[in-house]
Every structure is written in C-alpha cells, then in structure tokens.
Homo-oligomer: A and B are copies of this chain.
C-alpha cells in the first residue's frame, strides 16, 4: 500500500487563506489589522532568511509586519526596553524574538519578558504552563502545525497510540501535550529509550522530532500508521554532483512510505506549516486582545 502523502505546502496555503479571510473580516467588521512584530538581534544568515520570510508572509495575508533589527552587541536592557514597548503597543498583537540570540543575552529572560498573550511562538513559561494544564494558551507553531495536519487526516485522534520521538521544549514536549489534549495515549521516546524500534512499532501516530537524518527506518513503522516528520536535515548528495546536498527528514521516507498509511515529506511537509501557524497564532492573539471569538480550526 502506498501511503497518502500529506502535502504540507498545500495545507499551509489553505491555512494562510483562512488566516487572510479572518484578517479581512477583522478589518471590515472591527477596524482591526492584526500586527506581528519580529525582532532580530545580530546578522545570523539563517535567521535573516527566516525573518524575511516571516515578514513577507505576514504582509501577504493582510497583516501589519513590524521588523526590528538590532546590532549583535545590543545590550540586554535595550532589547528588554524594545519588548516592553511592543508589549504596550496596541497595534502589535504578536511578538516574535528570533532565536538563537547572541550569547550575551539571556534567552529565557528575554522570552519571558514578552507579554504571554502576545507570545506567538508559545515559548513563554506561562504559555507552557497553560498548555500543560489544558488551558487556553499560545501554542508553539511547529507542533500546532503537526496537530492541524493530524486532525485534518484523522478527524478525531481520541484513543490513538501516539509516539513522539524527541523531548525538546520547542517540539517534542508541547507536541505530547497537544496529542494528550486530543486524547491520544501518548508515549515520549528519546535518546535513552531502550527499544525504540519496538516503541515506534506500536504507534498509530509517529511524530519524529530529533534532528538525526533518516534515523527511523520504514520497518519500525506499523502498517497504516501516520508519520509526521519534523526533522529537516541537510546531508551530502554526491549523486547530484560534487559538494551538493539535499534535505531529508528524521524518517527514511522511501521505506516508511511503503508501510505508513499517511506521511509528510521533507521538504514540503511540516516545514511550510510553521509560518502558517505563526500567522494563525497572530490572528488568534488579535481576536483575544479584543475579546472576539477565536477563528475556528486555527488553534489547539
């Protein structure tokens, strides 16, 4: 059986379309234009690409994008002052500080200085705590995107056996909370797990979020399982020519696709969903800020 390919690019486009509709409605009915502020400290090339891409997507769905670029040696106090200003700016509904920060800045302190209701990355400890107790929160974008794809494919997730491989604060742990919130039986596996193949083999849903190229072979996948591959790893691709590289996930796609019922490709699976969910979180934050009903289907 060939697996259904979960097309993250198409699904992300659909989510962005929904966001755009909500933005248009907020403008028309309430005179509100959702705004996302992105703060970049320093000149990390990858971060610059991400920030540019986020700004472009924000404008495309009709929202305001506010970019703040600070020197790599910006004192912490200046960064905190900027965040304070954004916290108090009613035109700004979402604030994202691009990580990683230069080493002289305390990432936890900076993230926790963002007003939790504007923390569209969902990294503030209050949001972690709200998610961890089943309350309304801002949910980290990547796991939210995975959840949306799983709900779209399965309808209800209740009672399904889900295995999350990886226990990062950004993906693995919040993913487990979200799956638990949707009533999966959730197992969190990681580098210390004794018999990972056995753990993965019993899962109806496998979310791989480790960052190790193709570490999950197809024969670990239960026949018919849904595989969500969060990994984006660049590896050498000599077959494409000397010095060439290609992107692969944490799952060996070719062999896993032979057994899975559904699978996300890399690239074009989870990746495109992350920015779409950032936009979704921003429109959700804008609605909450004005005590308006949240857009359906765009939150956990």
Q: Which residues of A contact B (CB under 8 A)?
A: 108, 124-135, 158-161, 167, 169, 173, 176-177, 180, 183, 185-190, 192-194, 199
Contact = CB atoms under 8 A, between A and B. Distances in A.
B180 A167 contact: yes
A161 to B, nearest CB: 7
B194 A190 contact: no
A236 to B, nearest CB: 32
A225 to B, nearest CB: 14
Contact of A173 (B108, B132, B135, B193): B132
Number of copies of this chain in the oligomer?
2
B134 A125 contact: no
Contact of A129 (B127, B160, B192): B127
Most buried by B among A159, A177, A192: A192
Contact of A194 (B108, B133, B161, B176): B161
A99 B288 CA distance: 29
Contact of A128 (B128, B190, B194): B128
A186 B124 CA distance: 24
B129 A108 contact: no
A106 B129 CA distance: 17
B159 A135 contact: no
